[in-house]
Amino acid sequence: MKNILEIVDDYSNYFKEIRRELHSCPELGFELSETTERICRHLDNIGITYRKNVGISGIVADIQGRDKNVTIALRADMDALPIEENTNVKYVSRNKGKMHACGHDAHTAILLGVGKILALNKDKIPCNVRLLFQPAEETTGGAEPMILDGALEGVDCIFGLHVDEELDCGKIGIKYGAVNASSTDVRIEVEGKSCHGAYPSDGVDAIVTMSAIIMSLQTVISRNTDARESLVINLGKISGGTKENIVPQHVLCTGTMRTLSKEIKEKAKKRIREIVEYTAMAYGGTGKVIFQDSYIALINHDEYVDIIKENASLLIRNKNIQIKKLANMGVEDFAYYVDKIPGAFFTLGVRNEEKGIVAPAHNDKFNIDEDALAIGVKMEIMNIFTAYEKLRGAK
């Protein structure tokens, strides 16, 4: 492995060129025709076989290693965000209203970089390596369709990374256990009885009823959930009523619920349903709640976090490893991969105040210190070799 890592820095400009090429042509969701065309062209040039249109618009590329009985996967997301870029870089987005403001261009460049380095060292690759180029992480989630289309067939473990604008370039972030929350859409409907606003006793006020429900729902967190657990209930939109002198008959309220535990999620759903139905009944109306589960929680496999930590300690030394204590209550669909097979997700520092690279992700001025790309390539290659030793021992 040492000989392979020694040549990575020689290709640092190659990684940067790919990242800039992809940055200039951002696309959204599953509609990634130019992005995938460019990735396939690079894979062709490298000499790596691949399958297109996996899970609608994903790419699965396979590299054969010495041990054909072990396969390790690496994943990168490809999609961008609906943001108008406001930077002065030469490779600025040329697609109006679209921008790689979350670093997926860097993720893809790193994965292609890994493919390039491994292809140059075919006789030294310990096992099969699968590169997953995934669409739609920012929207409805491209991981699950790829899995359903066979992206994980025969795969023993998986690693993924995300650029981290809060960490300086040269640092690595790791998190044991829960990394990102699950997401559930919440839709609450209250039905009352309309009447003249001068005679409210003739009707059932759906706004008053919904107000009582909203206030009561705060107790699901403060009184029904262990304080050591994580639960967020945010109701972000409410609509109802037709005129100021009419008692409203119907009110709709929608929001989101985030949690790190399946058990807490199901318990919260039960309690929310009870509060909605019984509070509405107490006020003389009816209430119902509809839950639409979205992303599941991302739970790292701790033994694979140990692999990342071990490799980071060798590459950048322990002082540059940040062991995160708190989970991110945002979502990440890498969760679906580690829900099926062992693996871990880590973050790659890309911040550099001296270079003025300080903007947060999902911001129109977002950028990264491209020196992080070579670090990402090295980390993923090291993860392959170390995980293979673990898997070989287990088999």
| Paired sense of beta strands 127-134 and 298-299, if any | unpaired
The answer to whether the beta carbons of residues 5 and 374 sit under 8 Å apart is: no
How many angstroms separate the CA atoms of 331 and 159, rounded? 17
How many angstroms separate the CA atoms of 129 and 155, rounded? 9
Choose the catalytic residue: 295, 304, 337, 388: 295
At position 364, the amino acid (one-letter code) is D
CB atoms within 10 A of CB 223: 8
Which SS3 state, helix, strand or coil, does residue 316 take? coil
Q: At what angle do helices 372-394 and 12-23 cross, to 10 degrees?
A: 110
| Residue for token pair 């919440």 | 186
Determine whether 277 is an active site residue.
Answer: no
| Residue for token pair 């609906």 | 82
Secondary element (H or E) of residue 294: none
| Paired sense of beta strands 67-77 and 298-299, if any | unpaired
The answer to whether the beta carbons of residues 388 and 72 sit under 8 Å apart is: yes
CB atoms within 10 A of CB 284: 12
Give residues with Cβ within 8 angstroms of 108, minimum separation 6: 18, 19, 22, 35, 39, 76, 77, 78, 133
Q: E-strand spans in the chain?
A: 49-54, 58-63, 67-77, 127-134, 157-168, 172-174, 178-180, 182-191, 195-196, 231-240, 246-247, 250-259, 286-293, 298-299, 321-323, 343-351
Choose the catalytic residue: 283, 370, 380, 388: 370
DSSP letter at 297 equals P
Determine whether 295 is an active site residue.
Answer: yes
According to DSSP, the residues that pair with 344 across neighbouring strands are 159
At position 356, the amino acid (one-letter code) is G
Catalytic residue IDs: 295, 370
